[in-house]
Structure 1
């Protein structure tokens, strides 16, 4: 298995960075190789990727999710992959986004690329694009503020803006997923967002 750890600091509040990460259908806008993400159910996601000309379709599950703290996922079929995106407030308007991805390269090209650090460079580039994306907007495009533990939704949370969508950073076997973490959640929508909409079927953050 290969492991990638990368971080980026973004000039937005932690709730904004986290909320945007729950809008998975926007991932193709700042993640190279992710062509589409589709929500299957509350915690299920379907990924369509194209990395280096290699196209893949696979399903993933959100394993753990704590508002303003972390999102962990794991693949349930296709290539083994998964990981955790965590959010660390550095002040009122600055956040460190940490990404850990665990994946199993398949084929000679992927194994060679991983050995040379190509996967680390790609994740770093994606985080830089996320930074530009969220700082240019200054606010999230939507949010889902529920909690997931052990793959089960603990509460319905709050959806606002464009609503929840789908995911990225390919997800892991349950035994590869990061342990749950306790962190305080911020429940209020961003000040520049409109009134909250009723909870909608959700889609996840990794």
Structure 2
């Protein structure tokens, strides 16, 4: 498994960032490739994605450690992915969001396509960074 960690600082209070992160239906606005997303019963999320010209449906289980401001997730099928978002207050009006993604590069390539090896790791890193920046824009603009 490979691990990627990225963070972004957003100009909103921690409660606002936390609430925005839990609005799964808004993920298409800031997560690359997500065409539709919805919350389902039992702490699950359903995502319709398109990556490298391939359409795919992904199910994930979500769990919260609300007191610690940690949201964890794991796909329930291929590709096998897991990760978390940890929110930390910087001050009353700013929050750091730490994203952690654990993945097997070969599994991701088989399921979603894309480059091999080091180029794939760079592409995933760029995508996660971009998604965090888009989340920052969305949450700060109140969308």
Alignment TM class, shorter chain as reference: 0.7 to 0.9
CA distance in 2, matches of 1:114, 1:5: 15
CA distance in 1, matches of 2:55, 2:95: 33
Query: Where does residue 109 of structure 2 map in the other structure?
Result: 106
**Greater helix content:** 2
Task: Name the larger-Rg structure.
Answer: 1
Aligned residue-pair number: 137
Q: Which runs of 5+ in 1 are unaligned?
A: 142-206
TM-score of the two chains, using structure 1 as the length reference: 0.62
The CA deviation at 1:109 is 3.1
TM-score of the two chains, using structure 2 as the length reference: 0.87
Q: Which runs of 5+ in 2 are unaligned?
A: none
Q: Contact 1:30/1:126 (CA < 8 Å) preserved in 2?
A: yes
> In structure 1, the residue corresponding to 2:77 is in which secondary structure?
coil
Query: Where does residue 15 of structure 1 map in the other structure?
Result: 15
The CA deviation at 1:75 is 0.9
Q: Map Cα deviations across residues 46-104 of structure 1 (whole Å, 9 max, x no partner).
A: 11111221222121111333156110011111210010001000000000000001122
Note the 1:117-132 alignment, pairs <5 A: 117-132=122-137
> In structure 1, the residue corresponding to 2:114 is in which secondary structure?
helix
Q: Contact 1:34/1:49 (CA < 8 Å) preserved in 2?
A: yes
CA distance in 1, matches of 2:7, 2:31: 15
Which deviates further from its counterpart, 62-71 or 78-87? 62-71
CA distance in 2, matches of 1:19, 1:119: 25
Q: Contact 1:15/1:68 (CA < 8 Å) preserved in 2?
A: no
CA distance in 2, matches of 1:60, 1:83: 11
**Greater strand content:** 2
CA distance in 1, matches of 2:114, 2:12: 37
Q: CA RMSD in A?
A: 1.8
